[in-house]
Amino acid sequence: MNIQLKVVTRQNWEDALSLEVGHYQNKFVPTVAVSLAKVYIKPDGENIEYIPFAIYDNEELVGFIMHAYEENTSSMYWINGFIIDKKYQGKGYGKAALSEIVKWITNKFTQCEEIRLTVYKENYTAINLYKSFGFVPTGEVYGEEDVWRLTIN
């Protein structure tokens, strides 16, 4: 496995739109199209920047993940829109991609002390993945999702 995060561009955006999760998972994650729309709409405010990534194993597109952040802060670094295509689930891609995005964020933003994400209480697979990385619930709720955080030392 050779996981790479590549920014979604005009060269790969249509491929990214083809990614799908299992039918029962649709309520847990936005579609790639919705995530890409957020880049331009900025629903969380003008100060939030979004970087959408396609997740590749070598040249094979296996998923999507987006980073949202507010620069010059220590705790406004978010992972969202994280999906592994249904054809590639259960093969370690989620764990590998999560590891890559955490490394990417902490290397790019040395002031980052905390990475946050949201997860539905019923999304047990994602919760187990996040727990295995050291994410913990904050007790906060955003919409219908719990907010979790990973403290960066």
pLDDT value of residue 54: 97
pLDDT value of residue 93: 96
Please write the tens of the pLDDT for every residue from 35-93: 999 999 998 888 899 999 999 999 999 999 999 999 888 889 999 999 999 999 999 99
Give the list of residues 6+ apart from residue 132 with CB closer than 8 angstroms, or none.
95
- The answer, yes or no, to whether residue 153 has pLDDT greater than 80, is no
* pLDDT, average across residues 131-135: 96
- The answer, yes or no, to whether residue 138 has pLDDT greater than 90, is yes
Q: Tell which CATH classification among 3.10.20.30, 3.10.129.10, 3.40.630.30, 3.90.226.10 matches the domain 3-112.
A: 3.40.630.30
Please write the tens of the pLDDT for every residue from 26-35: 899 999 999 9
- What percent of the chain is modeled with pLDDT above 70? 100
Q: Is-contact 140 126, C-beta < 8 A?
A: no
Question: For the chain, which residues make up each domain, given as ranges?
Answer: 3-112
